[in-house]
Chain A
């Protein structure tokens, strides 16, 4: 990087009055218009020159973005304008321990007062710390587009680094995480270079629950950050954990399957080789710790 701008480039700030207007504006001005909520990524990337939007559309005031509620049937809904610190502080969010643990690992406390989970998802960074938890909890996105409201399951939402299924005019209003299985346990292991406020070299989201429908009597959801173009679900590892008696050997096999399936790259944070070994070792650690929790 040889250009270091002292400030942000020029842009127009747009605060739409309603959803319809917002979607229309975004659709009409694609790709020059960009929605944002906390701005913790948007402003940094604009200063760096990666984003250069003519219009920044503030979605925080829009209907449905400020929701943070639990529903016994529908589960937990988190609006696009809800900063991570509020999610962590929301007592009912403790029913989703994996999400809380992951949210606490993002950046620093100060940043989490602005950063949002929806922002983390829409950025579609393979390193997003909270995405794995939302995938494990089978999250569904509530979206407003030019044709009105719609939903999209998070699984399959990511199409590449920074890319997702959203169309021009789509605004993600919130995410709903269905009622999680009773008695589940979760673990997010973030491997950073140092202990605080780093991006993940790898991030392991793991959720496990007793399940009589599988051979092993357990069902696991795994998602791995920073090892593939999109947040990665190691399906084969999940299958191994479902289909074999759950002992040390099975966990080793599953961890190895996860290691074999990931396709990380070398970057400034870590080499592909190191990442692959860390996937193996930390999937093993996460699953082992969950098993300890489930059998406690």
Chain B
């Protein structure tokens, strides 16, 4: 096969660690982000007037002084945008109208010719708020004694899988009633019960939120945003403005870190609202780092009470799981995180009897949003520790206990869904081996204590049952391939993986494929959102189908030209080859111009365009009262993590000697990227486990900057951070792949807490597992004096 005119490239790239597509432009700083886009002198700058009161009635808003300030072009308030919006439960407006519900909530906004003037105008807006009793604790918020934050809850529009309880602050009450928990506890040899509190944390992407909006001459609205979900945002903007989706266009380039906070809509609505009244001038709104901390979606806090029992042989028989999620002032993803907390409430364990009450509770805290893991770090923080306590109590080896109870293919899980094959046993074995888990090792000095912890997790993509993906594959004259998708490159490497999938499915070298960007809802094919660790699987299926469609078109064209059966043709390294006649022809030119018929008697084929879509069709709803159903989710990714630490008994400081994480990814399309996700996930998990906490006092965040909201730096990394994977193929994943984006951070709180206990014999269970907390716990327990 003559291919001397083709650049050498990576053939069959699936399973190979090819270099990222975006690496050069990002490393050199050439990559463009939203704030880099020039808009010229017409650009206006928006700033937001925010509530300083956690809960109160708005008595008066006077914007007259702000409007009179030279340079101010637009002032908007809640009166201008009365529509109720929300991703699931429609319970909020763009600006607070009669009531404020958290410190930082938008009340009004200004667009002016400079950011400074806009800021001055904000100071000139007068707001009188009559404070109301507030709710700062989710468990209290769910009680009858709590003041109501949303008296109109009964009237809110809501999808059929979210269950608000009108007359309370409970925005979703998800129940599991499986087996007979009460009877099962009677049969248990050991029961452990413990309550955990997981604090609010922030996503802290390096790029704060930014959006620019402009009304086009035809009335359509264009929004440029750092976004994980351009299509969902389009839908939300349309609802906020009361127009149809086709009137909105969202253009979303590279994202400087999302971790969930740039999914859904927060401040982007402000830019749209201002632009709708700016006479066609573009309006840019960008958050300060402080606003990024306390006005944005947060990883909502969780109070969870777990009661788990097992028999004398170590078989877990029953679990009672009560969760109070601090959904905040209104809900976006929060109600669905709560749902995930419910349908995942067993953790990756085979437990025949489960009672779960997962409640999302309105509080006067910032609004809970999606955060890498979607509730699973918080849920597993408790489960991993209670399972550790159980194993210890019955005197069973911890690894053996996990293996005995870990969920397996064929088990009917917490929601009654039959589990697909999972490689969790193998994950546990690999961690135990790599960490020498059964060996108690010596500390490096008399003032240090050494310990190891282990735990297992699972997570399914949390999304509506019908979250869809689509892709287009176009071929160019030179035989190169352009892939259009609506999913976003947020640093996770999805463009690279999509290029690998397209190249493999089509039969060209990886280097011949480009992913079209930025995502533009006017031109890009639909993608639900870049969340839920779903792109490799869902968008990957769409890209594969699109590439296969293109391939089919090409083979049919060549088959017709050669008078052969397409089944005898193949595409290899950019050439169509016949296994029968051994003829070959380059894709170049024919994929655009077609192939001439013999004797100039016309042409065959033409521009090659492949289309592919994917949407799971098999996810069923769950019974409102029992949480049982045929298939709650598309699949579960499972894994195991182990950590070996030392604790300095003079300070309480943790040093992580070695961390080992092993996940069943189905198929590693790009092994290096998978490992990087696992390593990075561990670091983020470690950071949130040891350092991170939004210190909310009466609704006010006391540490809204990097000075006092600490995140791990490179100096805090473990000495060894080992990432491995196993591959138990997913039946409907591309080449068997399933998601791995979020999972690696979800075990870390619980596993670290287990390691601390192993090291010093004291359970420090609530993150952040800070040096101070560990030291004072050791002091109280008499480990130090």
* Interface residues of A, Cβ cutoff 8 Å to B: 1-2, 4-7, 191, 193-199, 201, 268-271, 273-274, 277-278, 281-282, 284-285
Contact = CB atoms under 8 A, between A and B. Distances in A.
B103 A281 contact: no
A196 B775 contact: no
B772 A195 contact: no
Nearest to B708: A268
B547 to A, nearest CB: 45
Contacts of A6: 47, 115-116, 119, 286, 288
7 nearest CB pairs, A to B: A4-B290, A195-B715, A196-B715, A196-B713, A281-B650, A4-B288, A2-B52
Interface stretch (B267-275, B417-425, B484-492, B697-705): B697-705
A277 B704 CA distance: 28
A282 B775 CA distance: 13
Nearest to A44: B707
B287 to A, nearest CB: 8
Contact of B650 (A193, A196, A201, A285): A285
Interface string B353-384: 00000000000000000000000000000000
Contacts of B99: none
B695 interface: yes
A268 B50 CA distance: 24
Contacts of A195: 713, 715-716
Contact of B772 (A2, A274, A281, A285): A274
Interface size class of B (residues with CB under 8 A): 35 or more
Contact of B104 (A2, A268, A271, A274): A2
Contacts of B116: 6-7
A256 to B, nearest CB: 12
B709 to A, nearest CB: 9
B116 to A, nearest CB: 6
Contacts of A281: 650-651
B81 interface: no
B651 A193 contact: no
Interface in B716-742: 716
Given A195-B715, A277-B779, 13 more contacts: A2-B51, A2-B52, A2-B103, A2-B700, A4-B289, A6-B115, A191-B771, A196-B713, A198-B710, A201-B772, A269-B708, A282-B650, A285-B650
A194 B700 contact: no
B710 A277 contact: no
B18 interface: no
A233 B770 CA distance: 28
A268 B52 CA distance: 20
B772 A271 contact: yes
B516 interface: no
B708 to A, nearest CB: 5
26 contacts: A1-B290, A1-B701, A2-B52, A2-B103, A4-B289, A5-B288, A6-B116, A6-B119, A6-B286, A7-B119, A191-B651, A193-B710, A194-B690, A194-B711, A194-B716, A196-B716, A201-B772, A268-B703, A271-B772, A273-B776, A274-B775, A274-B776, A277-B779, A278-B651, A281-B650, A282-B651
B696 to A, nearest CB: 12
B202 to A, nearest CB: 14
A98 B776 CA distance: 30
A199 B707 contact: yes
Contacts of A268: 695, 702-703, 708
A281 B103 CA distance: 40
Contacts of B294: 1-2
Contacts of B702: 268
A45 to B, nearest CB: 11
B291 interface: yes
The main secondary structure of chain A at its interface with chain B is: loop
B562 interface: no
B714 to A, nearest CB: 8
Contacts of B770: 193
A7 B714 CA distance: 29
A3 to B, nearest CB: 8
Contacts of B286: 6
Nearest to A8: B116
Nearest to B286: A6
A277 B715 contact: no
A188 to B, nearest CB: 15
B33 interface: no
Contact of A197 (B703, B713, B775): B713
A199 B709 CA distance: 11
Given A193-B691, A271-B772, A285-B650, A5 B715 contact: no
Given A1-B701, A6-B115, A270 B291 contact: no
A127 to B, nearest CB: 11
Interface in B732-785: 770-772, 775-776, 779
Nearest to A108: B713
A194 B772 contact: no
Contact of B713 (A194, A199, A270, A271): A194
A48 B115 CA distance: 16
Residue of A270, A273, A274, A285 contacting most chain B CB atoms (<10 Å): A274
Nearest to A278: B651
Nearest to A195: B715
Nearest to B103: A2
B712 interface: yes
B349 to A, nearest CB: 33
B118 to A, nearest CB: 9
Contacts of B716: 194-196
A273 B290 CA distance: 29
Residue of B695, B711, B776 contacting most chain A CB atoms (<10 Å): B776
Nearest to B717: A195
Nearest to B695: A268
Interface string B75-111: 0000000000000000000000000000110000000
Nearest to B648: A281
A1 B704 contact: yes
Contacts of B701: 1
B295 to A, nearest CB: 8
Contact of B712 (A1, A5, A194, A285): A194
A279 to B, nearest CB: 12
Contacts of A201: 772
A4 B779 CA distance: 39
Contacts of A285: 650
Contacts of A282: 650-651
Contacts of A270: 772
A191 B51 CA distance: 36
A201 to B, nearest CB: 8
Contacts of A194: 690-691, 710-713, 715-716
A271 B779 CA distance: 14
A76 to B, nearest CB: 29
A50 B104 CA distance: 20
A75 B166 CA distance: 75
Contacts of B713: 194-197
A4 B701 CA distance: 12
A268 B708 CA distance: 7
Contacts of A191: 651, 771
Interface in B275-328: 286, 288-291, 294
Interface in B681-700: 690-691, 695, 700
Nearest to A2: B52
Given A193-B771, A194-B715, A4 B291 contact: yes
A277 B780 CA distance: 13
Nearest to B770: A193
Contacts of B288: 4-6
Contacts of A198: 710
A120 to B, nearest CB: 16
B774 to A, nearest CB: 10
